[in-house]
Structure 1
């Protein structure tokens, strides 16, 4: 029996730099510091903070990150080689890197002769000198513990001119680089080529520690990272959720899960053995103001979601019959979806324990029949769990009336050349009193949300914790044109006093009138939260 310890793979995160180059991705300075702390807590080895010369935000990051009490991760400063025709000590970029006081510096250089000849327009010998000089300059400072060389476009360069590509790596080693990072910058390499190339490099440069940095333009970033590790790479670079330029970087969430759960490698330095990957994934999505991807491997809301009645029945008996790992191993959870395709067993599996209806077949069938009728009208409950739970409460005559609507009205004022303004008026009865409130908003839904909260805030202060996160509209029967029904789905988050997210939930509304559909989803959300918060109803 082998007693050999599993090989440990370093995880290098570049969400804060490479990830922010993705379309629609923006992180504030506070966001970057929060993500740094979270990555450190979860055992990441290296966190690339940015390029300290590129913008004031990155300069401020490297100043303020020193105040964080990081337990494990080392912060990395990223930058380019010195400019041509200048000494490294006189280059403003080189000095910005060492002035960042980061213990690790990552230097990116040209490895593809095409870039040297046509983009930089310098001699190949000068490029080699730029690589060696830049790395040697950084390693010459006492506070710099390691310097990594980012071999940009390495695989394209190796394919075009393997001799020169290897020369660039040798120049980096001569300068003192501790990691040679092979970058599939265009994201176009195939796994077989990555595998054979790294094996050849290990033979040519046996003393080198190889790292891999892949992009996902062919949908192969994870595969290329894993074969690189198989071939001997000691480090994987990527981003959380795979965000990044064009089609993104490799998703470190998927990589870490595969390394640990499938291939038996060690990754992430933690005192406990739990992988909190789902928590991390959603944390970054929220700070980056991006929507969660339901089908994201391991951590998506649909990664362990079961819809077909046969699947649900099987997974209830033997979980691994339809799940390749346990949801808990990555911090996720199983979801049983309810739709017109479901069987009664889906109802029991979804909420049977919570509502104590596991053995109530009549109620299960009644709810399923109701779901099928409503989905035929355009509703969709598999992603609107809060509305589905309200359906169950109503079927069991356990849905309280927290308020009674008298009326609501929306007024939109639009003058030629001026921005429109929206005002909502809501009148509701709460207990024995009527509340008649007015609110302005960016549109009718925003205004109605504000007016209803005003009307209910004294009776139900719990609603202050509910924040609208996402709003989606889809036409249900497009053949009807502008008179078609629309389905509105609204996602909410419940947050504590520190604005930390406790849970997400979604509601649905359907109507020919988009405002009525939105009102239904909005009021469902408020009622659902009050039930979950065990608020006492003032209406009888």
Structure 2
């Protein structure tokens, strides 16, 4: 097979700035930027099926204002009648645009298109006219055939035209006007030329500290690593005059997959404002993702001033209007990003929540959970979805589901045992198991709803007074705390009642000894117990691990009841049922003990001998 030519030979390395005294690496982001949502313009023009339906754009606009966006680029009015009409509808519908929200519209540097653009904004309370001109050597040479001087003249002339049609026109005095200029392809333009053309535009517009000009510096095509973009922004902020009269805005695209990083570093370099789209919609690989940028701020202790507390509702609107699904692994918004399938991840998350609960931490306390940089509740997710279980999951995943749904804190051994049951079902179904399926499987495996083989009908557990070495002193009550216990009860086994009796050092051991008389020979290896609920509704949850002599496999039983002793007995019978089932149909009760369908109970002497 012939060797292909090396494609790297036809690409030229992007030259970084010579900025040895750069300051941005030592900076941190301490406040949210001004946000500009361009979903209805830049995002919309990049859709396969643009939101031509005015109702879709209307719904999207209302969502953006509810989220807290104060600057929204709503249209390209000179590009289509649909965009023009949508802008007019917003302005002419009473109450449609909150008083503190700026409507921004876009136009290229052409006189006729600028006039049409300004006409679309007549009567608006707050309006931003945004014009752009590509400034890179490639675009000037290939598209326009412009020199640098010609570009400066055109940009200055268009800025002056916007001024004459807006803030200098007495008929427009009812509108608060702002102005934005974008040297398009900024990231591929000589930084010296960017400063030069922006100085000319600034002079033509005449900004003030109270009403600064917006210079939007877009990475129209992302061409370098994010640190180079940050250098370019810092260079501009240092060298543009009257910095106090300027709002430096960012518009990063994601061609290299670094738009979020570029936007964050550029804010550290001095930028004041960020333009982008929810979930990164936009031309080619998209604009910077405003959701990720905003929620990243939360994780650094900074409020983004945007309300994503019901992120699922936002996702629904975005998907329906854009007809593009949010990727399952998209930061924060993806359906899989706040959950874990890996066993080690699940175990770490579960332990993190357990420690947080044990320490009694409240919602506002410092958040520190393994693998979860953001509390899922802050974006409207509940903890049910944090851990999801498939055939690759470990013990922690299923245990988390049971803890969330049944409020049972499973001992480690039971976690391991139940994980095998879950894994077998997941492999059988060939898919992820739903929380309801895992919960139902636990209930069935440990007989929480109904034990079809063993059930308590009646029982008594009393001290074995016959073994007392001496009668009590006259007028004193006999001390029985160190005496053995005797279990006497009726157990329903496979639908038939049997009277059982056993002796041991406590309720569980005496009941276990009673079970030995019917061929269920189990030794209790582990016992755990905790409360479920609080107050008068509290119940006891009991977990018992048992092993049979000569059998390696251990069995677990679970019991839940208001009475602690009965909870323990139910757990023992749960384990007994699982032990009997593991014998693959062998009779539970040895034939020699059966008499006319009943049980021949050994006398007390033989029972005590057997128990000992």
* TM-score scaled by length of structure 2: 0.56
Equivalent position of 1:478 in the other structure: none
Q: Deviations over 1:356-404 (max 9, x none)?
A: 555599997887555433433452116x567667767887899xxxxxx
Equivalent position of 2:426 in the other structure: 375
The question of 1:254 aligning with 2:288 is answered no
Equivalent of 1:148 in 173, 177, 180: 180
Equivalent position of 1:166 in the other structure: 195
Equivalent position of 1:449 in the other structure: none
* Cα deviation, residue 230, structure 1: 0.4
Equivalent position of 2:262 in the other structure: 224
* Cα deviation, residue 242, structure 1: 0.4
Deviates more, 1:220-229 or 1:199-208: 199-208
Equivalent position of 2:64 in the other structure: 39
1:10–1:276 CA distance, 2 compared to 1 (3 A): farther
Matches within 5 A, 1:99-498: 99-101=120-122, 103-140=127-164, 141=166, 142=172, 143=175, 145-158=177-190, 162-176=191-205, 178-206=213-241, 207=243, 208-262=246-300, 264-268=301-305, 275-319=309-353, 320-334=369-383, 335-355=386-406, 358=409, 368-369=419-420, 371-377=422-428, 379-381=430-432
1:337–1:7 CA distance, 2 compared to 1 (3 A): closer
1:305–1:119 CA distance, 2 compared to 1 (3 A): same
The 2-side partners of 1:313 and 1:268 are apart by: 34
Q: Deviations over 1:220-270 (max 9, x none)?
A: 1001100111011000111100011111111000111223432x5553367
Matches within 5 A, 1:491-506: none
Matches within 5 A, 1:50-61: 50-61=75-86
* Cα deviation, residue 333, structure 1: 3.9
1:137–1:350 CA distance, 2 compared to 1 (3 A): farther
Equivalent position of 1:447 in the other structure: none
Q: Deviations over 1:403-439 (max 9, x none)?
A: xxxxxxxxxxxxxxxxxxxxxxxxxxxxxxxxxxxxx
Gaps (5+ residues) in structure 1?
83-87, 399-540
Q: Deviations over 1:128-163 (max 9, x none)?
A: 2221222232233132511111221001012xxx33
**Partner secondary structure for residue 77 of structure 1:** strand
1:390–1:215 CA distance, 2 compared to 1 (3 A): farther
CA contact (8 A) 1:9 1:265 kept: no
* Cα deviation, residue 50, structure 1: 1.5
Q: Deviations over 1:57-103 (max 9, x none)?
A: 21221022222142543221111111xxxxx3xx1443233433351
**Partner secondary structure for residue 181 of structure 2:** strand
**Partner secondary structure for residue 159 of structure 2:** helix
The 2-side partners of 1:8 and 1:347 are apart by: 39
The 2-side partners of 1:394 and 1:26 are apart by: 51
Equivalent of 1:77 in 102, 105, 117: 105
The question of 1:30 aligning with 2:55 is answered yes
The 2-side partners of 1:48 and 1:363 are apart by: 57
Q: Deviations over 1:451-478 (max 9, x none)?
A: xxxxxxxxxxxxxxxxxxxxxxxxxxxx
The 2-side partners of 1:135 and 1:275 are apart by: 40
Deviates more, 1:207-216 or 1:23-32: 23-32
The 1-side partners of 2:317 and 2:417 are apart by: 38
The alignment of Structure 1 onto Structure 2 pairs a total of residues equal to 380
1:337–1:170 CA distance, 2 compared to 1 (3 A): same
CA contact (8 A) 2:78 2:116 kept: no
1:338–1:231 CA distance, 2 compared to 1 (3 A): same
Q: Deviations over 1:466-516 (max 9, x none)?
A: xxxxxxxxxxxxxxxxxxxxxxxxxxxxxxxxxxxxxxxxxxxxxxxxxxx
Gaps (5+ residues) in structure 2?
1-28, 167-171, 208-212, 354-368, 450-612
The 1-side partners of 2:43 and 2:257 are apart by: 17
CA contact (8 A) 1:51 1:58 kept: yes
Structure number with bigger Rg: 2
The 1-side partners of 2:313 and 2:338 are apart by: 15
* Cα deviation, residue 166, structure 1: 2.1
1:217–1:337 CA distance, 2 compared to 1 (3 A): same
1:285–1:137 CA distance, 2 compared to 1 (3 A): same
1:329–1:108 CA distance, 2 compared to 1 (3 A): same
Equivalent position of 1:477 in the other structure: none
1:77–1:387 CA distance, 2 compared to 1 (3 A): farther
* TM-score scaled by length of structure 1: 0.63
The 2-side partners of 1:122 and 1:375 are apart by: 65
* Cα deviation, residue 216, structure 1: 0.6
Deviates more, 1:181-190 or 1:13-22: 13-22
**Partner secondary structure for residue 299 of structure 2:** helix
